[in-house]
Structure 1
């Protein structure tokens, strides 16, 4: 196993398609496919199921993804450790939504502290409406949020990653063996609706666009409540890979299943006031995220 295997695997897992991973890495699709096959042979496990809609991770793939990310993050941190600029100072008023704080931002805050110890990042959790208002009023300098939710035309966004949404079911659920499932099939099951970060509004948009409606059993703002309800067989849900974990708090298993229709991704990125002049400290933060997620990656 080498660095290339891990990098290509993570890119495919995060984009959901070999073609997108190849474009992200600036290499050929055949190189990505070969690396994944080699990795599966090394591990003795199937990491992806090849579907018409893209690459669906298996349970083994979901479990290996966290380890692969941690290895790559440690390598990346070691590589740039001597590049930190201790001379950069300043205060950044940064806002983030609930999902971003819980599932995306903590690792990057730790890395930024290592790279730029002179930066004072003052973070606050806000909902999307408050983020838009406070960016426009100058109360915050920058936000990291679900860019797919931003509505105000005065806000500039830059998407960093797109997290696919899939159906969550308890282990052994009949739909886990059926391959891609339709929204009509899902509508016959009790549905656990997440409401935080406008998740319910986003869900109903794609349900309505397919002239279908979920059979909602519970609405909750807690991702852990959704996870436990699904794992204990009380219903199913559709949520993003970024918040997916294969275990509930009680230790019960959850599986993911591909849907037969394209569900919009959950897009995470940066948001700024279009007319605002960014401070030097804010530009450093923006450049960090741009370099980490949007710059061309070496093929190795």
Structure 2
């Protein structure tokens, strides 16, 4: 039996998150697939990579050593698969805006790749709230934006969804709710709730609360994701946020766990937006083409392979 890249990715996810179940959620696969991959790795290597307990998994000494090697392998593979598709013929500039969430948790990596792909295109970057982005797209102050598409209101704005990020319940490690097999909004209605407000997250949250005629017990409204993370990690409340902004540790080094809810919780959709009828420049076409290749084409390939 030979080692696979998939096994390495599953192992790294479990090592970073400390729970096989959380790794499965992040990877969007079954928990059994992660468990099998790790067991196959351990069998191949002839060592135990994790110490298992009811609270999760922790790396053994051999596991910590193997994790460093796994990082190096995956980094090399990523570099090999992401050789810049340099296009020096595309020239021009684009005024690109983004909301807080897109700029903080998505764009930096892609900006670096865009610079490699299109060395003769310059990007003027701006951060605005959704309402400002709509106004500036309409008056021509900016050319294109990366936004949470479900929040758009103006009918003259065209959007193209790139991907959706599931929203899940955030709870502290060992929270009483972690013992429940299933969870619904009714189970957390009385819990102290930390409400994020940036990028109109509070408005998005109230859509699914209102659908069930429920009211969250909000003890804090904040525009800081790190504040939410720390409050939840320290057991001061719970939150419902997207996987895009999830990190397993707070700044104090306390663990945060996530759980899916049985209720219909709308995912956070991220995409491109521009003014209807806008004449696309070379720079705009290049940026749109890049994001389509980064998100939409892989999704289409997955769907095609599933059908076949």
Normalised by the size of structure 1, how large is the TM-score?
A: 0.79
The match for 1:39 is: 37
Task: Report SS of the residue matched to 2:278.
Answer: coil
Task: Report SS of the residue matched to 2:209.
Answer: helix
The match for 2:19 is: none
The match for 1:251 is: 253
1:109 equivalent among 101, 108, 111: 111
The match for 2:301 is: 297
Deviations 1:26-74 (A, max 9, x none): xxxxxxx99656424335699xxxxxxxxxxx889xxxxxx99997786
Partners of 1:150 and 1:272 lie apart in 2 by 11
Partners of 1:15 and 1:140 lie apart in 2 by 35
Most deviating of 37-46 and 128-137: 37-46
User: Where in structure 1 are there 5+ consecutive unaligned residues?
Assistant: 19-32, 47-57, 61-66
CA contact (8 A) 2:197 2:223 kept: yes
CA contact (8 A) 2:208 2:264 kept: no
Partners of 1:105 and 1:132 lie apart in 2 by 19
Query: Which protein has the larger Cα radius of gyration, Structure 1 or Structure 2?
Result: 2
CA contact (8 A) 2:7 2:41 kept: no
Deviations 1:99-129 (A, max 9, x none): 0111111110111112212111111001111
The match for 1:222 is: 224
Cα 1:15–1:203 change in 2 (3 A) is: farther
| 1:177 Cα deviation after fit | 1.6
Report 1:1-300 matches (<5 A). 1-3=3-5, 16=28, 38-42=36-40, 75=77, 77-81=79-83, 83-295=85-297, 296-297=300-301
Cα 1:13–1:187 change in 2 (3 A) is: closer
Task: Report SS of the residue matched to 1:281.
Answer: helix
Cα 1:105–1:260 change in 2 (3 A) is: same
Cα 1:292–1:2 change in 2 (3 A) is: same
| 1:130 Cα deviation after fit | 0.9
Partners of 1:112 and 1:126 lie apart in 2 by 21
Partners of 2:34 and 2:255 lie apart in 1 by 25
Task: Report SS of the residue matched to 1:294.
Answer: helix
Cα 1:291–1:82 change in 2 (3 A) is: closer
Partners of 2:139 and 2:71 lie apart in 1 by 37
CA contact (8 A) 1:81 1:115 kept: no
Partners of 1:124 and 1:8 lie apart in 2 by 36
Partners of 1:100 and 1:272 lie apart in 2 by 16
Deviations 1:167-195 (A, max 9, x none): 11111001012133121110111100000
| 1:83 Cα deviation after fit | 2.8
CA contact (8 A) 2:164 2:268 kept: yes
Cα 1:59–1:142 change in 2 (3 A) is: farther
CA contact (8 A) 1:90 1:281 kept: yes
Normalised by the size of structure 2, how large is the TM-score?
A: 0.77
Partners of 2:80 and 2:294 lie apart in 1 by 14
Higher RCO (Cα < 8 Å, 6 or more apart): 1
Task: Report SS of the residue matched to 1:245.
Answer: coil
Partners of 2:89 and 2:273 lie apart in 1 by 26
| 1:259 Cα deviation after fit | 1.0
User: Where in structure 2 are there 5+ consecutive unaligned residues?
Assistant: 14-23, 43-48, 51-55, 59-68
The match for 1:52 is: none
| 1:14 Cα deviation after fit | 6.2
The count of residues paired between Structure 1 and Structure 2 equals 268
